[in-house]
Amino acid sequence: MDEDWPITAEQKKSIVSKLMDIMESGIPDFQIPASRALMAADALNQQRQAMQEKKHEQEQKRKLELIDLAHKLGIVGHDGGSVGVVDSQSSRIAND
């Protein structure tokens, strides 16, 4: 995604580890902001995953629509494996 920050997975792990250390420090003035940062990161991660799943579902739907259209046009046989060829003389589709 274009919105990604240019940090590596290792850097992300380091940040989360440091925030967890702060959470375990027992200092409430630091624990609360650290917990908020972790919750915000988790929410963004869930949102990103949902967006990726939605995009994947849309791509799958589009592929199925294209296969259905190819079926209706006779370009793809009912078994999904045979491909039709266009007969340029009669402008009709004939299966191989």
Beta carbons of 37 and 18 less than 8 angstroms apart? no
Greater model confidence, 58 or 88? 58
At 23-56, the pLDDT tens digits run 999 898 999 999 999 999 899 889 989 999 999 9
pTM listed for this prediction: 0.56
